[in-house]
Structure 1
Amino acid sequence: MKKKETNFIHNKISNDMMNYINNHIDTDINIDDLAYEFNISKYHFHRIFKEQMGANIYETIKSIRLQKASNLLITNKYSTITKIANMCGYSSQTSFIRAFKERFEQTPKQWRNGGYSQYSNKILSICNTVSLVGENYECFEPQIVKTEKKVAYYIREKGYGTRSKKLWQKMKAWLYTNDIENYEQIGIYHDNPIITEHSDCYYVVAIVPNSKIDLSNTNLPSFDIHAGLCACFSFEGQYIDILKLIQWAYHHWLPESGYEATTIPSYTIFEKNDFLDSSGVFKGKYYVPIKFT
């Protein structure tokens, strides 16, 4: 098998695994069973994943569990710590608290009681953004919408910010190669950039074609984007404004909204995307999957 074909297969296996982890984070993810499904040995499964994603698969699962839990502890104030641990795949509250403290240097209770704010501001200060303290974001009151399932073709890489522009340029080349003119541009935050250092963020750039086109031979993987209830925030501004809006949505709007967040990642649908077209601004709608309580 040619090296290019092998790399494509390995990339698809790794991305399918990442999608599985995100979609089944509340379950006991069994690597032996998944390796069997892909018809490869457990050893090669681990090797392929680390080669493609640059991280150990068990550490990746742990990181995703804790990150999703860190969001839910802020937004789902009527859920107990035990319930949130279970929603993120922890059957033992003791092991959850130990792992959480190792990652965030505070207990889940300390995080929930306000520790998240200082931690998030520290992450954002690293990328030269500013704290939201004292700013009025009432104008960002969202619409509650029901979204439909979308099939998205995507590129996933680690690194958010300056690397994002390179990913969108790759996606532009793919659009030109496949003569796709009518499409939606979507940025998906599988890692929340307000609580994860941007060099460690997995960021997904995705395209949803708006017309039927044969992409059976494309070299990009695809997945289904969430269908369901979302809070939809319209915005226009610079790159840092997107991050500030994400922080405000999770830290201010959601805890007081009467809704709760889910473990499904949030995403942005762009009308203007400076990463792609150098327009100088970003304009679009930011979607946060929610549930009625």
Structure 2
Amino acid sequence: MSPAYHSLHEYTQRMNRVLEYIDQHLDQPLELAELAQVAHFSPFHFHRLFTAWVGETLGDYLRRRRLACAAYQLASHPELSILEVALEVGFSSGEAFSRAFKQHFSVTPSTWRSTEPKRWHRRLNDVRERRLRELSNPDQTHIPAFDDPDAFIHLKELTMNVTLKELPPVRVAYLRYIGPYGPGIGTFWRDSVAPWMVENGLLGRARYGIGHDDPYVTPPEKCRYDACVEVPADFKANAPVVVTTLLGGLYAVAHYHGKGPDIADAWTELCRDWLPKSGMQFDSRPAFERYPVDAKYDMKTGELECEICIPVKAL
């Protein structure tokens, strides 16, 4: 391995460590010197390095991540006040948060909170409409309006079996993909992750996929996805690979069997249909797709098996 290659990948690993640290501490003040220390770079040079690497200034990146997390919290946690959401993502006051939110999303936090669930219902409605068309049943062609929640109980029930499980923490190594969610992720697994697994003797281990961003809030070119592989306790990672721990705890687990692109529909049904009726809510741990060792994948049809795991807690 050439010195230049090693240096490039070392930078990648350090920057990924910083981005992970930021997401874990959005509710706290994050100073340049603190983040430079996480990356083991000089504070004098860190801001320029960060901007060149991420494509945004540190301040712009922090603001965007805080607002994206706030947008999700507003829509999914109606029990939280706007001020509580603001404080959870690091704003010092509700007024400052509301100004920043409206500047970024062109609507107030209260408007977002009232309209965003309707967008989720529209997406779920679209998913079910497609499925009903696939069934080609003329008696089921009418789809109720998205603003009539009671009408949804008459539609086709959730096809996935969802169970609540206590999952243990898992030590994983991951490579990060940044870009639009979709076919590029499959290409990333095939062309980058699989060869790396072979080189490091990691075939035959469980794999995990973590999409960190909502593509309806985050620009597609900035969406982050981690392709993870379970590793033993003594595994040593070489840059750009990062080692982390997926936190254990209570998860809603649904088995998925279908084509890769359709998994987005499964996420939609699980998170926007099953979850509101379950008496549970998301907590702050990341959701992920788990691919067990014996999970099937058909290269000809594109069909795959995995477990969709969302971290939950009681309402």
Please indicate the TM-score interval, normalised by the length of the shorter structure.
0.7 to 0.9
Name the stretch that deviates more: 13-22 or 136-145. Answer: 136-145
CA gap of 1:259–1:8, structure 2 versus 1, over 3 A, is same
CA contact (8 A) 1:156 1:202 kept: yes
The structure 2 residue matched to 1:144, chosen from 164, 179, 183, is 164
CA gap of 1:141–1:9, structure 2 versus 1, over 3 A, is same
CA gap of 1:255–1:99, structure 2 versus 1, over 3 A, is farther
Equivalent residue, structure 2, for 1:185: 207
Q: Which amino acid aligns with 2:53?
A: Q
Q: 1:208-233 CA distances to partner (integer Å, 9 max, x unpaired)?
A: 13xx4863253421111122222212
- RMSD value over aligned CA atoms? 2.9
Equivalent residue, structure 1, for 2:140: none
CA contact (8 A) 2:237 2:243 kept: no
Equivalent residue, structure 1, for 2:260: 239
Q: Which amino acid aligns with 1:99?
A: A
For structure 1, the residue ranges without an aligned partner over 5 or more in a row are: none
Deviation, 1:154, is 0.9
Query: How do 1:15-54 and structure 2 match up within 5 A?
Result: 15-54=16-55
Q: 1:197-250 CA distances to partner (integer Å, 9 max, x unpaired)?
A: 4333111111113xx486325342111112222221222222332212222333
Equivalent residue, structure 1, for 2:243: 222
Identity within the alignment, %: 23
Give 3-state SS (helix, strand or coil) of 2:288's partner. strand
Q: Which amino acid aligns with 2:105?
A: F
Q: Which amino acid aligns with 1:109?
A: S
Query: How do 1:1-293 and structure 2 match up within 5 A?
Result: 2-118=3-119, 130-132=126-128, 134=143, 136-140=156-160, 142-159=162-179, 160-169=181-190, 170-209=192-231, 212=232, 215-216=235-236, 218-219=238-239, 220-271=241-292, 272=295, 280-293=302-315
Looking at structure 2, the residues matched to 269 and 69 of structure 1 have their Cα atoms a distance apart, in angstroms, of 26
CA contact (8 A) 1:74 1:250 kept: no
Q: 1:266-293 CA distances to partner (integer Å, 9 max, x unpaired)?
A: 111125476x956611321111122223
CA gap of 1:287–1:195, structure 2 versus 1, over 3 A, is farther
Q: Which amino acid aligns with 1:91?
A: S
Looking at structure 2, the residues matched to 22 and 90 of structure 1 have their Cα atoms a distance apart, in angstroms, of 15
CA contact (8 A) 2:178 2:222 kept: yes
> TM-score, with normalisation over the residues of structure 1?
0.84
CA contact (8 A) 1:120 1:194 kept: no
Name the stretch that deviates more: 152-161 or 247-256. Answer: 247-256
User: Does 1 or 2 have the higher relative contact order (CA < 8 Å, sep 6+)?
Assistant: 1
Looking at structure 1, the residues matched to 106 and 296 of structure 2 have their Cα atoms a distance apart, in angstroms, of 36
CA contact (8 A) 1:194 1:246 kept: no
CA gap of 1:86–1:261, structure 2 versus 1, over 3 A, is farther
CA contact (8 A) 2:173 2:237 kept: no
CA contact (8 A) 1:232 1:286 kept: yes
CA contact (8 A) 2:173 2:229 kept: yes
Equivalent residue, structure 1, for 2:148: none
For structure 2, the residue ranges without an aligned partner over 5 or more in a row are: 130-142, 144-154
Give 3-state SS (helix, strand or coil) of 1:138's partner. coil
CA gap of 1:132–1:226, structure 2 versus 1, over 3 A, is farther
CA gap of 1:91–1:253, structure 2 versus 1, over 3 A, is farther
Looking at structure 2, the residues matched to 11 and 192 of structure 1 have their Cα atoms a distance apart, in angstroms, of 23
Looking at structure 1, the residues matched to 101 and 270 of structure 2 have their Cα atoms a distance apart, in angstroms, of 22
CA gap of 1:14–1:38, structure 2 versus 1, over 3 A, is closer
CA contact (8 A) 1:193 1:243 kept: no
Deviation, 1:42, is 2.7
> TM-score, with normalisation over the residues of structure 2?
0.79
